[in-house]
Chains A and B, each alone.
Chain A
Amino acid sequence: MATLHTVNKSPFERNALESCLRLAKAGSSVLLFEDGVIGAMRDTRFSEKITQAMGDFSFYVLGPDIKARGLSNDKVIDGIQVVDYNGFVDLTTEHDTVQSWL
């Protein structure tokens, strides 16, 4: 049973992403959106944790929220897939449940 975890806060603001990565079951997916997209950026103090977790989880990031913050898809960590809102909807249907880390 695959779960989609959604994280909407920056890892520099809250520990939602860290808690998610610590507690989610291997094989789950993680979607970073809203301020959560900060966690998808390369060359931050947090990037290494994401890269290390890639063995256990599939990572996605919401493109419109990257753009809304003046950031660029070029800065997204390799291996994280950029999706739009249609992709967000597809992720929820492709997984059995959705867990929002608020």
Chain B
Amino acid sequence: MKFGIVINEGPYTHQASDSALQFVKAALHKGHEIFRVFFYHDGVNNGTSLGVPPQDDRNLTLEWSGLAEKHDLDLVVCVAAAQRRGILDEDEMGRHGKSANNLAPGFRISGLGQLIEAGIQADRLVTFGD
């Protein structure tokens, strides 16, 4: 079955990113397809490469990047939510005249259309949030 995943909460806030990660791992393990993971609202903070959690704590951004690489996942960060929170890729950095970019490997910035498409294409859309 094809899954779309929505994450509305940043890492280390409550548990949304952790729960979604475990859910996606279990779904992949069971042979399901993850059509897309869409990071919305504060969820875009999962996509920053500049987080430095303590070494004995989980690094959620790295976990997502690693899972994306291993399973060719499409991790999409909402552009409007990302701009507000200072999550930029190289293009956005140039477009807004900023001095740095911080989007983590495996993530890409796009728009709400990607969420709508996930809702249409996926058999199930599962939302994790606050």
Contact = CB atoms under 8 A, between A and B. Distances in A.
Is the pairing of A and B real?
yes
A16 to B, nearest CB: 11
A98 B119 CA distance: 12
Nearest to A88: B23
Contact of B26 (A89, A98, A100): A89
Interface residues of B, number: 23
23 contacts: A8-B16, A8-B128, A34-B15, A34-B16, A34-B19, A35-B14, A85-B26, A86-B30, A88-B23, A88-B26, A89-B23, A89-B26, A89-B32, A92-B124, A93-B1, A93-B32, A97-B124, A98-B125, A98-B127, A100-B128, A100-B129, A102-B127, A102-B130
Contacts of B30: 86, 89-90
**Interface of chain B, main secondary structure:** mixed
B95 interface: no
B25 interface: yes
B126 interface: yes
Given A8-B19, A100-B126, A102-B8, A86 B14 contact: no
Interface string B1-15: 101000010000011
A59 interface: no
A33 interface: yes
**Interface of chain A, main secondary structure:** helix
Given A8-B19, A98-B127, A102-B127, 6 more contacts: A8-B16, A34-B15, A86-B29, A93-B124, A100-B129, A102-B129
B27 interface: yes
Contacts of B1: 93
Nearest to A86: B26
Contact of B124 (A8, A35, A64, A98): A98
Contacts of B130: 102
A36 B124 CA distance: 22
